[in-house]
Amino acid sequence: MDAVVQFTSQSQGRDRIFRATQYACALSVYLLRNNSERKDLVAKLKSLETNMSAGRKLFRLGNTINSIEAAKRTMQLSDRVLSLCLTAANANRALYFICDNVLWARNVGLIRDIDKERWSLNASRCYFLSLVTSLTRDVYEVIQLMAQKARDRHFRQKMELHLNESPEVAEAVIPQLDAFLFLLLESLRSHPAVALDMLKNVCDLFIPLDRLGIYQSNAGVVGFCGLLSSVIGIVTLAQPKLRLRP
């Protein structure tokens, strides 16, 4: 119970619970859309989804400053590739939060004379760029892990044993490809923080892709991906050892 209280007392914890609820509602609405007997439930779920979205915008009012400070810190990293990816991700995230804050002010009536659609598209573009640079960082981390694994003598012996024990696989699949996949899976298995971060970013990527019309899916796919990434976010926040750092 203490862990639950501590989690919900954090602004990030509340935001992720709201986000998971929002996308769970979106997915439920999509699944129940053709059920005529559930019209009242669908209407309530849509209302709850809207309220969760509005609540999250309120929680995110201070996130622009947090992202700018994070960008300043990542600029000091000694690994230049990691520094470039993380700084770009944080900078685009800060721009996304600025657009999001302007949209919140527009929705509550503090600002009137703005093009809501244009600001919404700009927010999606910044979110998309932030996710792309975050995924680039994930790929770089995976490459580093694979190179480290490949240099390990005990791992090479394990991989050779795997290939020798599965000759039928080696005949059906290109041996180099099988070795590459084995190396990739073992690297991700030994570093779950990287695997979870990559999965989360891939799931999140479907959201701006759909909004920008780059890859249009449907509300069900967006809801499922948003829910899955939200659950991963909750897990990594509750278990800091599963969070990718820096």
208 preceded by a cis bond (ω within 30 of 0) = no
Range of lowest pLDDT (88-92, 140-144, 145-149, 162-166): 162-166
Which tokens sit at 101?
């804050």
Q: Using the predicted structure, report yes or no on whether residue 224 has a pLDDT greater than 60.
A: yes
Of 175, 177, 195, 184, nearest to 155 by C-alpha is 184
Domain that holds residue 142: 2-242
Give the ranges where 32-79 is alpha helix by DSSP (H): 39-59, 63-74
pTM, full prediction: 0.89
Q: Residue range 44-67: average pLDDT?
A: 89
Confidence at residue 124, expressed as pLDDT on a 0 to 100 scale:
96
As for how many domains the chain has, the answer is 1
Confidence at residue 243, expressed as pLDDT on a 0 to 100 scale:
93
Return the higher-pLDDT residue of 167 and 186.
186
Place of tokens 């600025």: 98
Return the higher-pLDDT residue of 31 and 149.
31
- Measured distance CA(193)–CA(199) in Å, rounded: 10
Neighbours of 69 (CB within 10 A): 12
Confidence at residue 175, expressed as pLDDT on a 0 to 100 scale:
63
User: Is residue 165 very low, low, confident or very high in pLDDT (cuts 50, 70, 90)?
Assistant: low
User: Is residue 171 very low, low, confident or very high in pLDDT (cuts 50, 70, 90)?
Assistant: low
- Measured distance CA(70)–CA(85) in Å, rounded: 12
In the chain the first and final C-alpha atoms are separated, in Å, by 29
Q: Which amino acid is at 141?
A: E
- Measured distance CA(222)–CA(230) in Å, rounded: 12
Of 156, 157, 178, nearest to 166 by C-alpha is 178
Is 71 within 8 Å of 91 (Cβ atoms)? Answer: yes
Of 197, 199, 169, nearest to 182 by C-alpha is 169
- Measured distance CA(124)–CA(130) in Å, rounded: 10
Q: Residue range 105-118: average pLDDT?
A: 88
Sign of CA dihedral 227, 231, 237, 243: negative
